[in-house]
Structure formats: C-alpha cells, structure tokens
Chain A
C-alpha cells in the first residue's frame, strides 16, 4: 500500500535550518511528484512547493523563495524539504503529499505523509 513516512518532530532556534524527510513506499517513486504543505497551529493549509521526482524540477511558493530547497533521492525513494533562516512564524506541521506527474500539469494530492511538527523557539 502507498505510504509516505515523514521524519520526527524538530525544535529549532530562530535563524537555524531544518530538513524534513518523506520516505515513499508502495508505488513507483519517480511516477509521482511530491508537494510540501504546511499548517501553522490552528490555521489552514499553505502550499510550499512541488518537486518532480522524475526530472528534479521544482516550483516554490514565491514567499518562500530563497529559503526553501526541495530535493529527492531516488535510490532511497525519499524526498527532502529544507527550510533556512527559520522564524517563529515557521512553526507548523509540515506535510509531504503525492501528486500525479504524468500529465504535465498539477494534480490533486492523493496521499499525504503523517506530518512533521517543526517548532521554532528561542
């Protein structure tokens, strides 16, 4: 069965960096893109960006440009999201989510990871 298993909770100080991992299983990793979505406490969903696991192409949300990097390791079927220069308002649950990548356009997110809480606090 399809599974996306994310890394555990992290506590970081302002200005630090965090890397969240998302290990995929149960499907052909390079046939689906990975999106990253975050959710601040008690708030809604914010799309952070997308990476094609086939080509490595990325598209980041404008407000995170310069602070976020998404990568994949196809040898371990794992996607990574690094966020730098952390601020208190980056405190959130971070999710990876799978999306069909075959049509050349974006698609719905059909499987999600369990979420990784990142807390930014001095």
Chain B
C-alpha cells in the first residue's frame, strides 16, 4: 500500500493549462478505472473533482479533465484561474476494497 507518486508542485500562469501526473502500479492505477482527483484549499476538506478516471461530478468546471495511460493517471486544468491554487490529490482503488492516495501536488498560479 505505497502512496501513489505525484509531483510535489506544479505552477502556471493564468489562462494556461497544467497537467498533474499520478503514478502507481498495475495493482492500483493500472489495474482499475477507479481513479479520482481531489482539490483541497488550506484548512478545508477535500473536494471531488474527477472520478472513474475522467468523469466530472455535477458542478465541477469542465476546465478540469482526467485521463489514464497504463499505470499513470493525469489531471489537466485548462484556463488556469487564481482559485485553482490549491493542493491536489489522486486516489485509486487498490483491490480488496482498499484505496490509496497520491503524495499530493501543490498548484501555484503565478
């Protein structure tokens, strides 16, 4: 149950697109289409942004999109805005009703 690997930080200017990677193994990310992404502002609870690799919950901007290739999932934020500055975490199903989170990525809007 090792944490999924994410870059510690990603930055971009307003209006730009950024992509956050989430690398696991064939036992988690690569084995199931059950990757979700969460946004967390300081002192707040996480908020679901993407589930089942690429599905967006109702109310989440279509500037957020998800994908997966092999053992790596990705979250892309397009048209970067100031309010997108937050920590982002991926989460994957890991079999036998267990789950694993990523190490987290701090997104900075320059």
The answer to whether A and B assemble together is no
